[in-house]
A = this chain, B = another copy of it.
Amino acid sequence: MTERVIRLAKKQISIHDIAAKAGVSIATVSRVMSGGIASEASRRKVEAAIADLGYESNTISRRLAGQSGRSLLLMTTDVVNPYYSALCQGAETAARRNGYSLTLACRELENRLDENTLEHLLSLPVDGAVLVGSAVENGTDEQLLDNLLRLQQKMPIVTIGPRIEGLSCVNITSDLSVSVKKSISHLIQLGHRRICYIGGSSDSRSYRSRRESFISEVAEQGLELLVEDNCGTGFSARAGEICTARLLSRLSDRDRPTALVAANDLVALGALRQLLRMGIRVPEEMALIGCDNQFFTPYLTPPLTTVDLHPEDHGRCAVEELIRIIGGSGDVNYSQVRECSLIVRESCGALLGARHFD
C-alpha cells in the first residue's frame, strides 16, 4: 500500500536560494525579476540561477507585499446556462493566456448580490472582478449600485450586461435593441405581421431592456402589439413551454401570432416542444426565433433561427479590459458595445420564402 505519499512537498525554492546561488542579495534578485535596474553581470548570474532552479516567485508573498497576485474573479449566475458557460470559457481562456487565474463565484439565478455574498467576494484575494448575471441584472439600479460601489472600493470591476446608472466602470454590452431589430425585420421580410415576445423575467434588467426594444420596434414598424402584458415566466425551457401554452390558450386561432420571438434559445426550445404538442407546425404555421445561438440550436427540428451575442467574446473582452485597468492604463469608465449576428436557419421559414399571412 502506497498510502501517505501525499504531502512530501519538498520545500519550495525561494528568492533566498537563488540569491545565494547567484552570489547577490535578495534585493537584486527581486530587481531583475521585476525588470528593475541591475548590472548586466548580476542580471546574468541571477537569470542563470533562476533557470537552473526553475524558480518562480510565490504568488502569496508577492501579493502580501502589495503586488498583483495575477488572479481575477468572475461573478456569474447559473453556469449551466450555455450563455454563461460560454462566457466563462472565454473569460478563463483569456485570463490564462495573460498569466492570470480565474476564480469563479456563482449565485443562484434569483438572488441579487446580497450582504453575505458581498462579504465573501470582498475577502477573496483577487485583483479585480468581472460581473455578469444576477449581480448586475436583478433589481433596480439603486439596489445594485450600493453593493457594487462597495466592491469597487476594493478592486476594479468590469460589468457585462446593461449599464448601471451611477456606476462608473468599464462595461461590456450587447446592443439588445439591434438584436431585436434584426429579429423583427427578418420576420417582416418573410411576411409576418403578428409577432409576439415570449419568456424572460422582469427581474432581469436585460430582459426589460430587450422587451422595451421589442415593443418600440413593433410600434415603429406599424405592427400590432399582440400581448403586451408580461408574458415572462423565466429563462428556462420549461418557461418557454408554459408561456407558449398560456399564450395560445387564451387567443383564438385567428388572433394568434404567426411568429414568436423568444427571450433566449432555452425558451425557444420549450416553445418548440409545446407547439409540436399542440400540433402547430414550425415554421409553416408558426415562426420561431431564439437568442444566443446555443450549441443545440442547429440540431433542432427545424434548426432554430437565432441571434448570436458571442458570449465567449464578451468573457474574453471583459477579462482583457480588466487586466488593462489593473495595469493602470487607459479609460476606466465607458461602455463597449459588442456586435450581435442574426443566424438564419429554418425555424422562421426562410426556406419557404416570403409569404402572406391573414
Contacts and interface: CB of A to CB of B under 8 A. Distances in A.
Interface of A: 1-10, 56, 59-61, 63-64, 69, 71, 74, 78-80, 82, 85-86, 88-89, 92-93, 96, 101-106, 119-120, 123-125, 149, 152-154, 156, 168-169, 237, 241, 266, 269-270, 272-273, 276, 295-296, 298-301, 332-333
5 contacts: A9-B154, A60-B60, A80-B89, A101-B120, A266-B295
A215 to B, nearest CB: 28
A276 B4 CA distance: 55
Contact of A80 (B59, B86, B103): B86
Contacts of A269: 296, 299
Given A3-B168, A85-B85, A104 B102 contact: yes
A296 B237 contact: yes
Contacts of A272: 299
Nearest to A70: B123
Contacts of A266: 295
A299 B8 CA distance: 51
A104 B104 contact: yes
A85 B80 CA distance: 5
Given A80-B85, A125-B69, A276-B301, A92 B104 contact: yes
Q: How many copies does the complex hold?
A: 2
A114 to B, nearest CB: 13
A123 B299 contact: no
A80 B294 CA distance: 10
A5 B152 contact: yes
A279 to B, nearest CB: 13
A106 B93 contact: yes
A106 B92 contact: yes
Contacts of A74: 104
B295 A153 contact: no
B333 A80 contact: no
B89 A106 contact: yes
A249 B33 CA distance: 61
Contacts of A332: 3-4, 6
A254 to B, nearest CB: 27
Given A60-B125, A156-B6, A92 B80 contact: no
B10 A168 contact: no
B296 A6 contact: no
Q: Which 7 A-B pairs rank lowest in CB-CB distance, beginning with the nearest?
A: A85-B85, A273-B299, A104-B104, A103-B103, A269-B299, A59-B125, A79-B85
A92 to B, nearest CB: 5
Most buried by B among A3, A102, A125, A273: A125
Given A86-B80, A89-B78, A123 B59 contact: yes
Contacts of A237: 295-296, 298-299
B60 A64 contact: yes
Nearest to A93: B106
A7 B156 contact: yes
Nearest to A99: B120
A96 B105 contact: yes
A179 B282 CA distance: 35
A4 B61 CA distance: 28
Nearest to A3: B333
Contacts of A9: 153-154
Most buried by B among A102, A104, A332: A104
